[in-house]
Amino acid sequence: MKTKSRRRSVAVFPGTFDPITNGHVDIITRCLSVFDEVIVAILVNSEKRPLFTVDERIDLIRQAYRKNPRVRVETFSGLLVDYAMKVDATVIVRGLRAISDFEYELQMALMNRRLNPRIETVFMMAPESYSYLSSRLVKEVFHLGGDVSGLVPALVERRLREKSAPEGYVVPRRRRRRSR
C-alpha cells in the first residue's frame, strides 16, 4: 500500500535578535518539536541602530545551532509574508511574554493574515522565567554593569564583553563550571 508523503512543515521565526536571548532559544527549541524546520529570519532594518551588525547576529545564532541542521538562519527585508512564501514556510512563530505584547502581536498577525491568508501565525508563550526578558533589557542591564548570565547564550555574553572592552584587550573566556 502506498503511503502519502507528508509535506515538510517549515516555520519562520522572525525578529531583530539584537542579540538572541535565552527566551528566543527557548522558543526555537520548542518549535523543533512541532515543525520539521525552523528558519530564524533576521529583519534587515536600516532605520534601527542595532548593537550587533546583521553578520554578527547571524553568526551568534548559527553558533548556537551549529549542530542542528533543522535550524536555518537567514535575513529578510520587505514584507514578512512574502519572505515566508519564498522559503515555503506556512507558519510564522512569535513568542508572547506578557499581555503587553498581545496588542502589537495581534495587529501584526491580523495584518499578515490580510496580506496573505495562507500564512498562519502561531504564538508560543514564554516560560515564566523569561517573561520579563528582552534584547533591549539585556543590553541596558549589561551596559550598566549588571549580570546577564543565564539570560543569553554564553557566546552572546562574551561578545557583549568584547564590544565594551577597550581596543586591543582580549576578553578571557569564562571558565566552564565543572560538572558534578
- With a CB cutoff of 8 Å and minimum separation 6, the contacts of 28 are 13, 38, 40, 65, 71
What would the x/- binding string for ligand PNS be over residues 22 to 51, using CB under 6 A? Answer: ---------------------x--------
Q: Is 180 a catalytic residue?
A: no
Catalytic residue among 24, 57, 94, 139: 24
Residue of 89, 73, 70, 72 lying closest to 81 (CA atoms): 89
Decide: is 112 part of the binding site for ligand PNS (CB under 6 A).
Answer: yes
Q: Is 5 a catalytic residue?
A: no
| Choice between 15 and 153, CB closer to ligand PNS | 15
Cβ 103 to ligand PNS, closest distance in Å? 13
Q: How far apart are CA 30 and CA 151, in angstroms?
A: 17
Q: Is 149 a catalytic residue?
A: no
Side-chain-side CA neighbours of residue 46 (13 Å): 2
Cβ 45 to ligand PNS, closest distance in Å? 7
**Cα separation of the two ends of the chain:** 52
Decide: is 91 part of the binding site for ligand PNS (CB under 6 A).
Answer: no
Cβ 14 to ligand PNS, closest distance in Å? 4
Q: Which residue has the cell 561578545?
A: 159
